Amino acid sequence: MAVQWKRRLARSKAGYLFLLPWLVGFFGLTLGPALASLYLSFTRFDLFRAPKWVGAANYVRIATDDPNFMASMRVTFLYVACSIPLKLAVALALAMVLNRGIRGLPIYRALFYLPSLLGASVAVAILWRQLFAGDGLVNALLANFGIQGPSWISNPHYALWTLVLLSIWQFGSPMVIFLAGLRQIPADLYEAANLDGASRPRRFFSITLPLLTPVIFFNFIVQMIDAFQSFTPAFIVSRGTGGPVNSTLFYALYIYQEAFSHFQMGYAAALAWILLLLIAAFTAFSFLSSRFWVYYDA
């Protein structure tokens, strides 16, 4: 047995050697810190003094005695629930327009993709601040129609929606994936449907949509995981406060505040683990549900 093992190891040594950079990265930069954060989530840790074990106290406080946790949950779920369907709808609509074989398609594709490249950046979030401020461009446009708009970003009723809008604007990457998915649908299905006299909506709902479900599913999962962790836009637009009145207190922003403004690293680690579990649960649920609505055989 041992000899066999040894021989196998010798044979695969080169393989492991080549894997080494990745292994070092995985253990040193991903798994190690993740386990450390799991440990820290059971401690009280202020960065300078050694962590102090407090058992499940952090988790108990999150569950029973933290109004900001509930506020940030509400904001984050609202954001995820609103931004993803809208973003995917916009992405699909544009992909279908672009799929009609317009001339200069690569140029349009690149142009529409551009916001996605910029979207998560600080510069765009600052631009958003300017657009939706009380005396910003949006209100200047509305003024032409005699509408006096509020200061969108500093009003608790609207601030979150400006961020949802920012997220929808970054439809580029799901759009490109939809475009590839649309190309995969066999043309003969449409021909047959045409012969049978199927209307355009009918063709969309009976051919395009069902055959596109794997792509929709993929986009949905990727975007959902991303949206749960959204941080930059809220951080920049609210200047790190999550305000006004916690209306843009994204969960990731709340973790940041606890960790780096209040130096409660242990508590922040516990919050982070809850986010991880939540995302895992939603992803698992999505996969389970996919059996009922994703059609894999084209």
Partner 1 sequence: MNVRIDRRQFLLTGVAISAAGFSARRAVAADARLRMAWWGGKARAELTQKAIDLYVSKHPGVQVETEYLGWGDYWARLSTQTSGGNSPDIVQIDIEYLADYATRGVLLPLEPLIPKPLDVSDFQPDLLGNGKVDGKQYAVPCGVNAGALVLDKTAFDEAGVALPDHNTTWAQFESIMAEFTKRTPRKGMFGSTDASGSEAVLETWLRQRGKQLYHPDGTLAYDQTDMTGWFEMWEQMRSSGAAAPAEVEALDHGEVDSSLLSQGKAALAFENSNQFVAFQSLTKDQLALAPYPKVDSNSKGGLYIKPTMFYSISSQSKNPQAAAELLDFILRDPEATVILGGERGVPASASVRERLRPKMDAAGDAMVDYIDGLGDLAGTLPPPNPPGGSEVTDALIAASQEVAFKTKTAAQGAADFVEKAKQILDRAK
Binding site for partner 1 (CB under 8 A): 47-49, 65, 67, 133-135, 150-151, 153-156, 239-241, 243-246, 260-263
CB of 233 to partner 1, least distance (A): 16
How far apart are the C-alpha atoms of 66 and 64, rounded to whole Å?
A: 6
Residue number, 167 or 246, with CB nearest to partner 1: 246
CB of 103 to partner 1, least distance (A): 46
Residue number, 59 or 282, with CB nearest to partner 1: 59
Residue number, 155 or 213, with CB nearest to partner 1: 155
CB of 20 to partner 1, least distance (A): 15
CB of 220 to partner 1, least distance (A): 33
Residue number, 116 or 151, with CB nearest to partner 1: 151
CB of 119 to partner 1, least distance (A): 22
**Closest C-alpha to 96, from 200, 175, 165:** 175
**Closest C-alpha to 216, from 99, 297, 295:** 295
Residue number, 202 or 239, with CB nearest to partner 1: 239
